[in-house]
Structure 1
């Protein structure tokens, strides 16, 4: 079989990594033009862009995104640390952050981590992202405390996405967790409940859930009701809950997340208690698939808006000459109450 010249060239290049120069030579354009194509710049014609992309695909060329980004005047590669994406709330946030980054021509490199009680795994992930020369970081996990983020903030701009930030040194675009707690408590009281239990997650386990629970407790107190608090540090608090349901005749259980709400509903069913006939139950997040069919009473957190604002704010910080000198961003976005079928009037 006889090979033509182009086929021979491609065969030879298969013995080593294909370079940008190889693509430029094969496409009949300059190396700078190939670079502009992969940087997404508008300084090349559509014809040239299509030819370069086709040649790159034929040769199996994979651009070095980090090197290209560093060489560019616009460093648009950012890192994302995300808590367990199997959690529906974090999974949707991951999707929306990716979507927002793509819409704003930002490259997003992500790392996810699940249970990490010492936070060492999460901190190592942040170090790894910095080692990849990202220009900025989006931190979407509620379990890394502010003091552990400040050293990273000294190196690159950081935006928290989702979790409210208590430090005056870290930027944050977050859900209004206090509004969630207040609205849910007002709804439960408005349906006539007075003996109410609140499941409170440990601050170290989930700071957002802790804030929601605290807001519920405060709002109930404001309305003259002392909440029966079930602190969950380890395990699920079922023993405490059983006691509250039967000894204190609790009529409503308020949970800081929809995942915990489902756990409480299952537990009540195991005790032959009907929801909401025997006990009403609320959650928070409002983004579980099929939540409308399940009829869960919840609070829908504004995931899409938080993701979009977080990427926009980080992009704006990177566009400034002195991002560290910019005022700290503390943007909280309220969600919406979902009055479902798991709460009944008494």
Structure 2
């Protein structure tokens, strides 16, 4: 700032007023300051500005690999609503296959950047691990199952989602169903989704083959297991915990002559992948936009007035998107 002031021939206070948008600066001086900023390539330190103001408007966001369309959309929506609220998002996106230790390291890096709040939007790191940060700054668990009384949750209603999916499969006449359930080390949400779907189907009298995936198992391994079940005639429908798994299965099945839905019906979950209706793939659309906006509302209020909100766990159910891939028996 001193260099800019010297280049423009003004005081540092004048430079500060220009940067803050103050109208109390003569147009000619403002133009000189802006020209000096452009000439010198000066970028204000947001961290220093926040320290000077005695508050921070930065939020740390821990999120899974955005190659998954659901996380990509969540990331974009959180960024959108943060900008509307005048907040700055600093994102940490650990390598998707490294697991909880790397995510915890990323959370600590965010804290080291002096963020004013944390949004934890990943299904790997445990609540017991993130609770240690709640005494330091506001923390909101986003899009993941949450029941800890010390951590505010804004998430998808995975029990309701799984129940909707299971009942849709049952109502289409399927009684022998394979259900994919992701390991808790990979995704708490998908694990709950799969386990609940299997439980609901069994209560309805279905024969359920539950496929418990190991941590970060390759798509080809899961697909091969499902293909074997279909070829053996053991299932008439396959339920996937997310749409990427379903899409890989359908692609491989069609390549080897297994017809969807004539030979086997399929349904996934997420519903944000572009082209699902065109491919006639059934799914459940997660309310990503609602969860993103609400998480920003909550973290903003917690940062503005700490202790003003009761810690609750908000959940939002999704909407079935039925298509030809879920055929009737």
- Same-fold call, TM cutoff 0.5: yes
How far, CA to CA, are the matches of 1:24 and 1:165 in structure 2? 54
SS of 1:291's equivalent in the other structure is coil
- Aligned pair in 2 of structure 1 residues 53, 86: CA closer, same or farther (>3 Å)? farther
Deviation at 1:26, TM superposition (A): 5.1
* Contact 1:36/1:44, CA 8 A, preserved across alignment: no
- Aligned pair in 2 of structure 1 residues 71, 306: CA closer, same or farther (>3 Å)? same
Q: Find the partner of 1:316 among 296, 301, 312.
A: 301
- Aligned pair in 2 of structure 1 residues 75, 241: CA closer, same or farther (>3 Å)? same
- Aligned pair in 2 of structure 1 residues 23, 155: CA closer, same or farther (>3 Å)? farther
Equivalent residue runs for 1:61-100 within 5 Å: 61-100=42-81
* Contact 1:81/1:125, CA 8 A, preserved across alignment: yes
Deviation at 1:162, TM superposition (A): 0.8
Residues paired across the two proteins, number: 323
Q: Find the partner of 2:283 among 280, 290, 298.
A: 298
Equivalent residue runs for 1:253-332 within 5 Å: 253-320=238-305, 322-323=306-307, 326-332=309-315
Deviation at 1:247, TM superposition (A): 3.0
- Aligned pair in 2 of structure 1 residues 19, 137: CA closer, same or farther (>3 Å)? farther
Tell me which residue corresponds to 2:319: 336
Equivalent residue runs for 1:218-257 within 5 Å: 218-233=199-214, 234-235=217-218, 236-257=221-242
For residues 5-48 of structure 1, the C-alpha deviation after alignment (integer angstroms, 9 at most, x for no partner) is: xxxxxxxxxxxx875645885599724423523xxxxx647997
Deviation at 1:74, TM superposition (A): 4.1
For residues 166-207 of structure 1, the C-alpha deviation after alignment (integer angstroms, 9 at most, x for no partner) is: 322211111111221111111111111111110111111111
Tell me which residue corresponds to 1:174: 155
- Aligned pair in 2 of structure 1 residues 308, 244: CA closer, same or farther (>3 Å)? same
Tell me which residue corresponds to 1:36: 20
- Structure 2: unaligned runs, 5 residues or longer: none
How far, CA to CA, are the matches of 1:201 and 1:218 in structure 2? 15
How far, CA to CA, are the matches of 2:276 and 2:37 in structure 1? 45
How far, CA to CA, are the matches of 1:66 and 1:273 in structure 2? 57
For residues 90-109 of structure 1, the C-alpha deviation after alignment (integer angstroms, 9 at most, x for no partner) is: 11111011001001100111
Equivalent residue runs for 1:190-229 within 5 Å: 190-229=171-210
TM-score, normalisation: structure 2:
0.89
How far, CA to CA, are the matches of 1:279 and 1:224 in structure 2? 19
* Contact 2:62/2:120, CA 8 A, preserved across alignment: yes
SS of 2:93's equivalent in the other structure is strand
User: Quick check: 47-56 or 204-213, which moved more?
Assistant: 47-56
TM-score, normalisation: structure 1:
0.85
* Contact 1:182/1:216, CA 8 A, preserved across alignment: yes
* Contact 2:4/2:40, CA 8 A, preserved across alignment: no
Tell me which residue corresponds to 2:92: 111
Tell me which residue corresponds to 1:8: none
| 1:185 maps onto 2:185 in alignment | no
